[in-house]
Amino acid sequence: MAQLLIVDDEEPFRRALRRTLERGGHTVHEASSVGEARAVLSTEDIDLALCDVNMPGGSGLELVRSVASEGSDTAVVMLTGVDDPAVADEALAIGAYGYLVKPMGGNEALISVSSSLRRRELELARRQHVAELESKIVSRSAALQQALAQLELTTASALDAQRDAADRLVTALTIRSEETGAHIQRVGQFSAMLARLAGVRLWSAEEMCLAAMLHDVGKIGIPDAILLKPGPLEEDEFAIIKRHPVIGNRLLANGTSPVLILGAQIALAHHERWDGAGYPHGLAGDEIPIAGRIAAIGDVFDALTSDRVYRGAVPFEDAVEHMRSERGRHFDPALLDVFLSSPEELHAIRLTHPDPAAVL
């Protein structure tokens, strides 16, 4: 349970409220003034403080302001003997999590504490998300920008430059255990293979490979706590995951090279489904750009045949069977038939780009 602090100059009230909160399973500290409260906060990890508004020597509102200005993890619920909407509005506006009018019932106090602690958990999770995104963007943006700049310089004849760009992309985009460099390379190779076998000549094999490697660039904006979760995602977590195609498209949208233009298209479309049940736009059939349909097949096949944090790799034959079961639903049926018509080449690509310590 939580560490709580009662800040009130009336000792009988503190004692009664303490008994109520301790019956709720919480550890409770006491302070009779804002000064004492600050001393407790400096030595104890307090999750939530219940603080009177009016006390000799300082208002409880001062404590709320100082906690908010210091970026403390402590939530504050205000206590008052006067039901004044103006005071309540001021307290909530400066960061209080709740407002209780004395005397309050024991259940009312416990419910307010529980609700405020839950809101605190959500706020801490939000802060962690923001800090994580800042850290990820700072640490990876330089590598990503170098990779994208390299792609802007490549041409169909500059194979060495393109391969160097591929190496830079692997460094920049390896953003979780699942997104290994080998996975990124394989999706590029599978996509280039399928485009070649299907007779798609809109781009060179190198351009298709590099662009398909950018398919999940938008996951740089997704929290690791969700990306690395070893089990099924909650509905709200999956909603966050579903943002990455749009994020990736925005990251690449201003590129001028053929690879970046194609990569932006693939990033946005690789989770659309042939039957229209995909995301982010619910496109169906030929509405989905062919590059997105191609990359989707390579991405799902590699995901099935690779270890993930939530499951082990599926045997090759089982993966093929699963892909066939999604023919005309998830995948373009004609493209899927072409992809599965060359199992030897699929095996060869996996063997050429194995995951570290993986048994293929």
**For residue 57, is pLDDT > 80?**
no
Q: What are the pLDDT digits (tens) for 266-281?
A: 999 999 999 999 999 9
**Predicted confidence (pLDDT) per residue in 121-157, tens digit:** 888 877 776 666 656 655 555 566 666 666 666 544 4
Tally of domains in the chain: 2
- 187 & 322 share domain: yes
225 with 272, same domain? yes
Pairing of strands 27-31, 98-101: unpaired
- Tell whether the model's pLDDT for residue 227 goes beyond 80: no
For the chain, the straight-line distance linking the first and the last C-alpha, in angstroms and rounded, comes to: 46
Assigned domain for 129 exists: no
In a domain, 183, yes or no: yes
- Tell me: do 268 and 201 sit in the same domain: yes
Q: Examine the fold and report which residue of 96, 121, 146 is the final residue of a domain before the chain moves on.
A: 121
Q: What is the mean pLDDT of residues 11-22?
A: 91
pLDDT score of 66:
82
Could you tell me if 174 and 116 lie in one domain? no
Q: Flag whether 348 is in a domain.
A: yes
Give the span between the Cα atoms of 291 and 160, in whole angstroms: 24
Q: Does residue 78 sit within a domain?
A: yes
Question: Is 66 inside a domain boundary?
Answer: yes
Contact 37, 31 (CB under 8 A): yes
pLDDT digits (tens, 9 = 90+) for 75-122: 889 888 877 888 888 888 888 888 888 888 888 889 988 888 888 888
Kindly report the CATH number assigned to the domain that includes residue 28. Answer: 3.40.50.2300
126 within some domain? no
- For residue 145, is it within any domain? no
Quick one: 113 and 182 in the same domain?
Answer: no
pLDDT in tens, 294-333: 999 999 999 999 887 667 889 999 999 999 999 999 999 9
CA distance 44 to 26: 14
Share of the chain above pLDDT 70, in %: 83
Rounded distance between C-alpha atoms, residue 174 and residue 184, angstroms: 8
Q: b/e string for 37-62 if b means 16 or more Cβ within 10 A?
A: bbebbeeeebbbbbbbbebeeeebbe
The model's confidence at residue 255, banded by pLDDT at 50, 70 and 90, is confident
Is the same domain home to 92 and 222? Answer: no
Task: State residue 327 phi and psi, 5-degree precision.
Answer: -65, 125
Same domain, 88 and 175: no
CB distance 77 to 100 below 8 Å: yes
* Pair (346, 292) in one structural domain: yes
Encode pLDDT of 190-225 as tens digits: 999 999 999 999 999 988 998 999 898 888 778 777
Tell whether 93 and 165 lie within a shared domain.
no
> Is 189 found in the same domain as 271?
yes
Question: Does residue 159 share a domain with residue 91?
Answer: no
Yes or no: say if 251 and 218 are a contact pair by the CB < 8 Å rule: yes
Could you list the residue range(s) of the whole structural domain that residue 64 is in?
3-121
Class of residue 342 by CB neighbours under 10 A (exposed 0-12, middle 13-18, buried 19+):
middle
Q: How many residues does the chain have?
A: 360
Same domain, yes or no: 214 and 309: yes
199: domain CATH number is: 1.10.3210.10
| Contact between residue 201 and residue 193 where contact means Cβ atoms under 8 Å apart | no
Q: Is residue 326 part of a domain?
A: yes
User: What pLDDT does 360 receive?
Assistant: 36
